[in-house]
A and B are shown apart, each in its own frame.
Chain A
Amino acid sequence: MRTRTLIAAVLALAALVTAGCGGASDTHGGGATAASSGEGSTKLSLVAYSTPQVVYDQLIPGFRETAEGKGVSFSESFGASGDQSRAVEAGLAADVVTFSLEPDMARLVKAGLVAPTWADNANKGLVSKSVVALIVRKGNPKNIHTWDDLLKPGVSVLTPNPFTSGAAKWNILAAYGAKSGGGGNPQAGLAYLRELITKHVKVQDKSGREALQNFASGNGDVLISYENEAITAQKKGQAVDYVIPDHTILIENPIAVVAKSTHVNQAEAFVKYALSPAGQQKFADWGYRPVDQAVFEKNAARFPTPSGLFTIRDLGGWSKVNDTFFDPGKGSVAKIEEEAGVSTAK
């Protein structure tokens, strides 16, 4: 017994020492899944939402080959957009942040971590775009082409919970905007949402990716998701097709340098690289619409422009939308979800 306790104590001590040295450095096993973040004199922390991990796995090595990127190593963190934003707010170290939607960036502006002028540039603070699309089984057996098709009897629709996944709000807004003529006819839009949610959505997963997993494992006939998710899923061998309805919303993903970063120059260089033609092409490869017009045109074949494309600004901007639709107590979507017995906040 004595020896055993002694060994345990020694091990504990050794572990403490290792933890002290090991936890802070980046010498552990080479880092991220596909690309090695490597050693370097400058270390940038990227905190991002989960879906573009495949893109950054290529962007980072690409950046490290440029002159500005030489000798820069990365620590990367990917997770749900809201979670990541809250984590940075709670103290997660970050130099570059990118999220699925603007309110997650606004949270950091409010916390004083990102400059209020983050969007005052040529790309309006965005690094990629997408559109809300309808993901169906390969071959589109149920012949889904429009929002109305979702209301056909017996069609089971998957969409994540907009109250636990900020990114899921895009889906609801796309449907609403489409049926309300870009916000002109709120009654029609809400009536559509009501029927969709109460009659056709049986389960609301807690995030977009989980909804996709759910769909991929055999549930539901249609998944409301994003074009880039569909393309990524296809690239990863999932048997899905997607349809872009004529009327849908433009998804805009922001990126910014954290104001308190100790490596502002390198961080800005990385963002610049992500916005460069080389970087934007990598986004395009994985199904994200580039914000760089030239790159977009080069890839235009893959990214059709829907005739009735609208943006969040057409619906009044995020603040208004969050208040009107997604306020847990008074929001119209909250009320509809309650009717369906679905998750709202309060």
Chain B
Amino acid sequence: MVDGASALGLGVATLWLSVIVLIPLAALVARSFDGGLDTFWSAVTSRQAFSALKLTLWTSLVVAAVNAVAGTLTAWVLVRDQFRGKAFINALIDLPFALPTIVVGVVLLALYGPTSPVGIHAVATTWAILLALLFVTLPFVVRSVQPVVHELDREMEEAAASLGAGSLTIARRVILPNLVPAILSGAAMSFARAVGEFGSVILVAGNIPFHTQLASVYIFGQVESDDPIGAAAVAVVLLVLSLVVLLAIAALGRWGARHER
């Protein structure tokens, strides 16, 4: 490709990303250190902040893990299986992308709150958090794995079957290894998304610190309590966490791709 054009393209892309994403983030990081390193550290390690971060971390990991399994199974069924209404279900997968988070919150409140039509009262519990997060992160693994399943070479599976391997073995030894990079990438995106979720959880989570208060809600509370530095500090931690996960998964993907050849 012509280098001049790619240089221009790169320049434009960089400018765009900088203005829209990087500059505001830089301002955020700067703000978090406004009180010096000590303030940053104490803001992040305060009991409540730490507890909120822990809750966010483990719920996001659980959700990523559940999505890895459920999403893969869903992608598999959507590609390999045939049944009535498959196209409809396939379309539905993108619904969480399309639905505004506040509507999700209102809906979950209606469904699992005190006036629940199904008798489930999960509001203000950790279950409510997990439900909300599972809803908003549903598409990531599914959409990431689907194209790979599509491209899978069925001959390998058939060869393995003809050699006497059972379904489970085929799944484990033949299919899964091919899907792992896509699963990981989708799971990483799930994690990143779950970490930042606010609109849907704020209505159903109960937000009881040390119990059901996520980092995003804690940050909100800090802003409301006139502690923008504390808010920025915890936000920066979340940012770094997501960045690390995204980069790690990308690196894993590249390592995997290199070793495939």
**Interface of A toward B, CB cutoff 8 Å:** 80, 82-83, 86, 107, 161, 163-166, 202-206, 217-219, 328, 337-338, 341-346
* Given the contacts A82-B224, A206-B221, A328-B225, A344 and B114 also touching, CB distance less than 8 Å: no
- Complex CA–CA separation, A318 to B226 (angstroms): 15
- Complex CA–CA separation, A164 to B230 (angstroms): 14
Is B210 part of the binding interface, using a Cβ–Cβ cutoff of 8 Å?
yes
- Complex CA–CA separation, A58 to B109 (angstroms): 33
- Complex CA–CA separation, A164 to B202 (angstroms): 13
Is B167 part of the binding interface, using a Cβ–Cβ cutoff of 8 Å?
no
**Which residues from chain B contact A342 at a C-beta distance below 8 Å?**
208-210
**Which residues from chain B contact A345 at a C-beta distance below 8 Å?**
48, 221-222, 225, 227, 230
Is B211 part of the binding interface, using a Cβ–Cβ cutoff of 8 Å?
yes
Is B18 part of the binding interface, using a Cβ–Cβ cutoff of 8 Å?
no
- Complex CA–CA separation, A165 to B48 (angstroms): 17
0/1 interface trace, chain B 38-49, chain A, CB 8 Å (1 if under): 000011001111
**Which residues from chain A contact B114 at a C-beta distance below 8 Å?**
217-219
Min C-beta distance of A163 to chain B, whole Å: 5
Q: Are B221 and A204 in contact (CB under 8 A)?
A: no
- A86, A164, A343, A346: which has the most chain B beta carbons within 10 Å? A343
**Which residues from chain B contact A341 at a C-beta distance below 8 Å?**
208-211
**Which residues from chain B contact A202 at a C-beta distance below 8 Å?**
124, 206, 208
Q: Are B115 and A218 in contact (CB under 8 A)?
A: yes
7 interchain residue pairs of minimum CB distance: A218-B114, A341-B210, A343-B209, A345-B225, A164-B224, A164-B221, A346-B46
- Complex CA–CA separation, A82 to B115 (angstroms): 31
Residue of A nearest to B212 (CB): A203
Min C-beta distance of A221 to chain B, whole Å: 12
Min C-beta distance of A194 to chain B, whole Å: 16
0/1 interface trace, chain B 162-179, chain A, CB 8 Å (1 if under): 000000000000000000
**Which residues from chain B contact A82 at a C-beta distance below 8 Å?**
224, 226
0/1 interface trace, chain B 110-139, chain A, CB 8 Å (1 if under): 000111000000001000000000000000
Q: Are A343 and B207 in contact (CB under 8 A)?
A: yes
**Which residues from chain B contact A204 at a C-beta distance below 8 Å?**
207-208
Q: Are A203 and B208 in contact (CB under 8 A)?
A: yes
Min C-beta distance of A319 to chain B, whole Å: 14
User: 28 interchain pairs (CB within 8 A)?
Assistant: A82-B224, A86-B223, A107-B226, A161-B207, A163-B225, A164-B224, A164-B225, A203-B207, A203-B208, A204-B207, A206-B217, A206-B221, A217-B109, A217-B113, A217-B115, A219-B114, A328-B225, A328-B227, A337-B209, A338-B210, A341-B211, A343-B208, A343-B218, A344-B209, A345-B222, A345-B230, A346-B48, A346-B227
- Complex CA–CA separation, A81 to B59 (angstroms): 32
Min C-beta distance of B121 to chain A, whole Å: 10
* Given the contacts A83-B224, A164-B220, A203 and B206 also touching, CB distance less than 8 Å: yes
Q: Are A165 and B224 in contact (CB under 8 A)?
A: yes
* Given the contacts A161-B207, A202-B124, A343 and B220 also touching, CB distance less than 8 Å: no
Q: Are A343 and B213 in contact (CB under 8 A)?
A: yes
Min C-beta distance of B204 to chain A, whole Å: 11
**Which residues from chain B contact A344 at a C-beta distance below 8 Å?**
48, 209
Min C-beta distance of B259 to chain A, whole Å: 38
- Complex CA–CA separation, A328 to B46 (angstroms): 11
**Which residues from chain A contact B210 at a C-beta distance below 8 Å?**
338, 341-342
**Which residues from chain B contact A166 at a C-beta distance below 8 Å?**
224
Min C-beta distance of A267 to chain B, whole Å: 26
Residue of A nearest to B48 (CB): A344
Residue of B nearest to A80 (CB): B224
